[in-house]
Amino acid sequence: MKLKYYVNDTPQYNGDHEVHIESCPYFPKVKNKTYLGDYETCKEAVQVAKQTHRRANGCVHCCRPCHMY
């Protein structure tokens, strides 16, 4: 099943731009986000996010397989 992915355009304290699924409880409810598209995996979404945010990273809560520590 495909999920809707977004990237937070505001970087975290470490400079990462987190990728979230639309239903993530930790997804920032701010206007500063970009819709990435519908994907089967977070890996696809993070690759798209890296086209505009070199330091894109999956959310530890909703995109754990794509979260790099």
Beta strands in 1-69 (DSSP E): 3-8, 17-21, 33-39, 56-58
The model's pTM is 0.91
- What are the structural domain ranges in the chain? 3-66
pLDDT score of 30 = 65
For residue range 1-59, what is the model confidence (pLDDT) as tens digits? 999 999 999 999 999 999 999 999 988 676 799 999 999 999 999 999 999 999 999 99
Residue 63, token pair as written in the block? 């995109």
pLDDT score of 37 = 98
